[in-house]
Every structure is written in C-alpha cells, then in structure tokens.
Amino acid sequence: MLKDQVQVSETFKKQASKSIVSIALFVIVYLFLIVLAVGLTALCVTGGFMLIAVRPGLLTILLGLGLASVGLMVLIFLLKFIFKSHKVDRSHLVRITAKQEPKLFEVLQEIVTEVGTTFPKKVYLSSDVNASVFYDSSFWSMFLPIRKNLQIGLGLVNTVTETELKAILAHEFGHFSQRTMKVGSYVFNVNQVIYNMLYENESFDRMIQTWAEISNYFSIFVLIAVKIVNGIQWVLQKMYTFVNLNYMALSREMEFHADEIAAHVCGGEPLQNSLMRMSLAEHAYTEVFNYYERHFKDNFKSQNIYQEQRALVHFYAKESQLSFVKNLPQVHLSDMNKYNKSKLVIKDQWASHPSLEERVERLQHLGIQYDNALDRDAEVLFVDIEKTQKELTKRIFETVAYQGSVKVLDLNEFKTSFEKEFLESSFDKRYNGYYDDKNPTAFDLDDISKRQEVIEDLFSQDNCNLVYHFIGLSNDLEGIRQISLGGIDIKSFDYDGIKYTKKDCESLIVILSQELEDLKTKIEQIDKNVYSYFRSLEAEDNSSSVLKEKYTRYFEFDKSLEAKEDIYNRLSEAVQFINYTTPFEEIESNFRGIKPLEKILKANIEELLADESLKGILTEEVKTDLEKYISKNWIYFIGEQYRDDHLQILFTAMHQYMYVLSRAFFTLKQDLLTYQIGLEKDKVVNA
C-alpha cells in the first residue's frame, strides 16, 4: 500500500509534533484561565455576601451583587462557546452515489485500494474549479473517529484529462491516509473557541449591557469584568497565532506528502499539468460569471456554464499562444511568470499550501513517470456529463431574481458576445501588450526629437519587459517598505537570491529606488519615441495634428483624475463609521464633516454630466442616479435612525461616479491608441 511505501519526511514529523504541542499548550492555557475564572467567581461571590452580611442595606446589596457578578461574567465569557451551534452549509453541493456514477466510483475504489485508505463517507459534486476533503467537525470529533467526505468540482472536471483527475483525486486520498488530518479537527475546534470569544459576543454584550443599565453601581463592576475579558482576548489572540502558524506549516508538509502519493499513482506529470492549468481554468470560470453579472439587466441566463468555461479556456489559451495536447492547453511555469518580474521572496507563514513553483519542483525531483498516451477527457467518467452540467448550472441561476422574460444563451451566442466585448476592451496586438498594464507617460509634446524607428522595435519584447520590470520593482519596493515599517512581521527575506534582514531594508530601499527611477526614465523615452514615430506618420499623410490633440486631452484628463478619485476615497473613508456602533452626537458630527467633500463631489459630477464626450458612457440609468444625488442636500441621519434610502442614493452616486471616471479614462486611452495604430495601417495601405 502506498501510504506505507511513501514515508513522511522528517520536516513533516517535526511540524506534526509542533502542531500537537501547540494545541496541548492551548488546552493548558484555556484550563488555567477557567481555573482562574472559577477562583475569581468564588472570591467575588464570597466577598459580595460578606459585604452584605457585614452591613445589610440597599447600597451594600447592590455593591455585593455587582462584585459577585464580576466573576460570573468572566466565567460565562469563557464557557459560552459550548452553547454555540455550528452548522455546515452544503446547499451548494450535490451528493452522488455509485449507482448514479458507476465509472467514477470505480476509479475512486481503485485509488482507495492502491493508496490503502478508506472510502469517503459521502461524495459530492460542486460547481467549483477544485477538489477537496472535508469532514463533519464538532467538539466530539476531537475524540471519536471521523469519516472524511470528498468534494469534486465540475469546473475542475471540465478542464482536465482522465489521468489528471485521477492524480488530483489520488492527492485528496493521500490526505485520507494522513493521520495528521485529526490534528486539523483539533485546530478547527480551537479556532471555533477562539473565534467565538473574540468576535461572536453580541449576546454576551447585550447581557452585560442589560445588567449595567439596572444600576450605576453595577456598571462599575461591568467595566471591571470587561477589562478582564479584554485581557483574556489578548491572550487568546496570541494563542491563535501560535496554534495556526504551526498548523499551517504542517498543512504545507501534508500537501507535499499528498502530492508524492499522487505521483506514485499516476506519475508526476499529470498532477503538474493540472496544477499549472488550474489558474487558467479558474480565470475562465470567473469570467463566465462576470459576463452574466454584466448582463444581469439584459436577463441573460446560461444554459451550460461549463461549456462556456471550456470555450474561454481555449480562447484565452489561443490569445496567449499556448500549445494544446489532447485538446487542452499546456501551461508552463514560464507562461505563468511571463509578466511577474518580482525578485522579492517572502515566505508566507500563513499559507496552507506550498507555492505552485515549490510543488512542481518537488514533483519533478521525484522523477516518477508513467505512460499516459491513451489519456481522455475526464468527462468520460460520468454517465451523462452534459446533463449534470446543466443541472448544476440551473441550481446556480435559481437564486437570480430576473425582471421580465429571460433569454437563455446557447454556446455560440455566448462566444460571439463575449469575444466581441473582449476585443472592444483590448488594444491592437501590434502593441505587443505594451499598454496592457501601463498608460502613456505625460511629457512635453513640443520637445520631441525625430528618430528613425520601426514599430517592431518600439514594441519589442525587451521594451515590454521593461514595463513589467518596473511594475515588479515598484511592488517589491512597497513590500520592503512594509517590512521596514513593521507592516509585514518577518525576520528575514530574499531579494534577487540574496538573504536580507529587517535592518538591511533602509539601504536596499535607496538602491532599488534609484533602479526604479532609471527604469522610469527609459520607459518615458520609449513613450516619447512612440509619439515621435506616429507623429511622423501622420505628418507624411497630412498636416493635421489630431494625434497631438488626443495626447493632450488624454494627459489633461489623467492629470485631473487623481484629484477626482481622491474625493471618492476621502468620502468613502469618512462614512466608514456607519459600519460600527457610534454615539448619536458623533454620527451627527461626522455627517456634518462630510458636507465639504460632498460639495466637491457634486461639482465634479456636474462637470461630468456636462461633458459632451461622455455621452456614450452616461447611460440613462447612470445619469438618473447622478442627477438625483446632486438635485438636493440629502439628510442621512434623523432622530436616532439612519436614513437608509438617502444613504443608498449617496452610495449609488459614488459608485456611478467612479464608473464614469474609469470608463472615461479607458475610452480616451483606447481612442488614442486606436487612432495611433491606424496611422501605421494607413502607411501599409499607402505603401
């Protein structure tokens, strides 16, 4: 049996021991807090009765009861999690049986036998691009045997081969064979206890508030109890970090171990291929939902989201010029990291899984290869995959509240509509992606020297790489600044293969800041060369200055955009208080404080509404929302209540305001780049 052949590493054993020790330490700390609380309760109750007995009277009775309540409140706080029920929501899952899907269950049984583990208690289908093991975890599951359940996502089945799916399932059954899964049950319950005492305190807060309102004397003792509770919460937060950091380290080792089991079942390559294709499959799946969200008001509904997901996987793969094997795109690490030029490596201690690069490297190091030449789509394991896909699609769209008649799109209608929208929001391929993640840099349009260039050199891969090096370096600098300021709590990190400590941050920031400035200068020069090249083409054809006008308008809008967005950001931050319990006087003061910001926002909205060039963006709905907001001064709080209807008018206007700004900016950029590349096409035609 593989579970006996594949030995766990020393690191695995070490992390398992540390996790168990951390859980044991939590239990000791928690029991110690309980003992202290019981002792405090006994002391307070005894003191309260003695106070009343020494000098009976209304005052001493109130003081005695208040004193006795301190210990009781602390004890109730520590024990209240016992009365909290935890239910797992499985409404999104569909249970399947061997009778319904005999081929799939036959494969599951083969893997179970080969790995040497137990068959899942239940098998479920979900709509996700994922497969996972989960179990019914409760207080008693820490002491009794637990049966694991298996969840298989149709979004995953839809984008892998039969062998790749088998490898993924073998990975999950690798978890079934791990006795350390029991540790996960303990950690889950520890987290439930801590979370309950840190964040689920509404009923407890109401109880002590009610007690405090009975008498001013009681409120004094409630404050004492709250101070003690705050101290307990501080201890629990430290324990949460300690327990979970150790378990996350164990979880990463469990993933490596499960990968090795999968490699012994199917070879390393199928698992590698499926892991590297996963992000593409997830992106395609998400974009299908984004499409239907955009067209909610058109009452569009999918007939089969999985066929549409598959279509987008192929579409994006062809756009990225990926190769295909067995009708599925082959994604490599070089493809995934093509635009990632970061050199900063920070070990994420909170990650439950190793990085994809680490997993692929481990699998390649194992060197286990099997012949999978006769591999087929994973869909063959299902009796009627299309019927199953349509049933899950129907379940997903059941919760959508459409207004009016619904239009169900077939696959061709979806593909045509999606690809049209994609092209409308993309830039010409001759730019080679240069402008995908950057905007034209502002410069003096009259201070440009003529240069002999060809378009292939302007948008060469080297020039495009400069853009992504700039983005990567900017992100790295921000990360190192966060380390320096303590925002990221780590002792050391790697940059460009060299290990640094926190004290090295300041000198490294100086060096990298200069590198960033040098890159910025190079990119600015490329942008100037681009303008010079296309301006020359325009001058050859006619004496117009349309290109200069488009650049000027774009630069002016870009310059004003930051201030316009700043108003939105400041106003958003200023109204955050409505999400928290706030005294009435403070609420009224806060709303008075946002009036100057609203005045600027309304002026900006009026300017946008008057701009003739934005007519295509200002739909009737957008105009109505914006005009309604600027039509009067809305009152957001009256008496002791928020005016939710008026707040909704404000928030809707803010959303539409940002929508108009972003669309206006993109439209200007697209118009400029479309006209610009059109000059090159005109040159080709004239030639």
Residue 48 or 135, more confident: 48
Last residue of a domain, one of 507, 542, 577: 542
* 231 domain residue, yes or no: yes
Backbone angles phi, psi at 217, to 5 degrees: -65, -40
d(CA 398, CA 301): 10
Task: Calculate the alpha carbon distances from 271 to 77, 497, 599 in Å.
Answer: 47, 28, 57
Task: Calculate the alpha carbon distances from 246 to 129, 250, 260, 281, 424 in Å.
Answer: 28, 6, 22, 31, 49
Structural domain that includes position 599? 545-687
Q: What pLDDT does 544 receive? A: 76
Contact 629, 652 (CB under 8 A): yes
- Confidence category of residue 543, pLDDT binned at 50, 70, 90: low
Q: What is the pTM of this model?
A: 0.84
Q: Do 529 and 561 share a domain, yes or no?
A: no
* 156 domain residue, yes or no: yes
Q: Do 65 and 206 share a domain, yes or no?
A: yes
- Confidence category of residue 513, pLDDT binned at 50, 70, 90: very high
Would you give the DSSP letter of residue 320?
T
Q: What percentage of the chain exceeds 70 in pLDDT? A: 94
Report residue 35 as tokens: 């003992």
In DSSP terms, 641 is beta-bridged to 638
Q: What pLDDT does 55 receive? A: 83
Report the greatest alpha carbon distance in the chain.
110
Contact 358, 272 (CB under 8 A): no
pLDDT above 60 (res 685): no
Q: Do 294 and 393 share a domain, yes or no?
A: yes
- Confidence category of residue 85, pLDDT binned at 50, 70, 90: low
Q: What pLDDT does 555 receive? A: 96
Cβ count near 355 (within 10 Å)? 13
Q: What pLDDT does 83 receive? A: 64
* 362 domain residue, yes or no: no
- Confidence category of residue 175, pLDDT binned at 50, 70, 90: confident
Burial class (CB in 10 A: 0-12, 13-18, 19+), 176: buried
pLDDT above 50 (res 687): no
Q: What pLDDT does 136 receive? A: 66
Cβ count near 137 (within 10 Å)? 18
Contact 155, 128 (CB under 8 A): yes
Contact 313, 329 (CB under 8 A): yes
Last residue of a domain, one of 485, 507, 542: 542
- Within 8 A by CB and 6+ apart from 444, the residues are none
CA angle (462 as vertex; 273, 687 as ends), nearest 5: 110
pLDDT above 70 (res 84): no
Q: Specify the number of domains making up the chain.
A: 5
* 153 domain residue, yes or no: yes
- Within 8 A by CB and 6+ apart from 92, the residues are 126, 127, 395
Q: What pLDDT does 339 receive? A: 83
d(CA 174, CA 258): 4
Q: Do 470 and 511 share a domain, yes or no?
A: yes
- Within 8 A by CB and 6+ apart from 668, the residues are 550, 553, 554, 557
Mean pLDDT of the region 386-400: 93
Burial letters 466-501, b for 16+ CB under 10 A, else e: bbbbbbbbeebbebbbebbeeeeeeeebebeeeebe
* 376 domain residue, yes or no: no
Mean pLDDT of the region 105-110: 95
**Which of 103-107, 304-308, 369-373, 554-558 shows the lowest mean pLDDT across its residues?**
369-373
Mean pLDDT of the region 157-168: 95
pLDDT above 80 (res 180): no
Q: What pLDDT does 60 receive? A: 84
Contact 134, 149 (CB under 8 A): yes
pLDDT above 90 (res 618): yes
- Confidence category of residue 7, pLDDT binned at 50, 70, 90: confident
Each residue of 258-293: pLDDT tens digit?
A: 999 999 999 999 999 999 999 999 999 999 999 999
- Confidence category of residue 657, pLDDT binned at 50, 70, 90: very high
Each residue of 329-380: pLDDT tens digit?
A: 999 988 888 888 899 988 888 888 999 999 999 999 999 988 776 689 999 9
Last residue of a domain, one of 542, 570, 590: 542
Report residue 229 as tokens: 């509770």
Q: What pLDDT does 35 receive? A: 94
Mean pLDDT of the region 138-155: 75
Q: Do 419 and 534 share a domain, yes or no?
A: no
pLDDT above 80 (res 669): yes
d(CA 177, CA 186): 17
Each residue of 410-444: pLDDT tens digit?
A: 999 999 999 999 999 999 999 999 999 999 999 99
Task: Check which CATH number belongs to the domain holding 130 and give it.
Answer: 3.30.2010.10
Q: What pLDDT does 593 receive? A: 94
Closest by CA position to 194, among listed 30, 16, 22, 28: 30
d(CA 155, CA 364): 26
Q: Do 447 and 568 share a domain, yes or no?
A: no
Task: Note the residue count of the chain.
Answer: 687
- DSSP string computed for 589-611: HHHHHTHHHHHHHHHHHHHHHH-
Q: Do 325 and 416 share a domain, yes or no?
A: yes
Mean pLDDT of the region 199-224: 86
Cβ count near 625 (within 10 Å)? 19
- Confidence category of residue 570, pLDDT binned at 50, 70, 90: very high
pLDDT above 90 (res 106): yes
Q: Do 59 and 198 share a domain, yes or no?
A: yes
- The whole-chain average pLDDT of the chain stands at 89
Q: Which amino acid is at 180?
A: T
* 159 domain residue, yes or no: yes
Q: Do 480 and 528 share a domain, yes or no?
A: yes
Q: What pLDDT does 461 receive? A: 93
Q: Do 549 and 638 share a domain, yes or no?
A: yes
Each residue of 452-461: pLDDT tens digit?
A: 778 999 999 9
* 536 domain residue, yes or no: yes
Q: Do 469 and 457 share a domain, yes or no?
A: yes
* 357 domain residue, yes or no: no
Report residue 127 as tokens: 């709509």
Task: Calculate the alpha carbon distances from 534 to 168, 338, 452, 529, 677 in Å.
Answer: 52, 28, 11, 9, 8
Residue 327, phi-psi category: left (phi > 0), alpha (psi -120 to 50), beta (remainder): left
Q: Do 516 and 606 share a domain, yes or no?
A: no
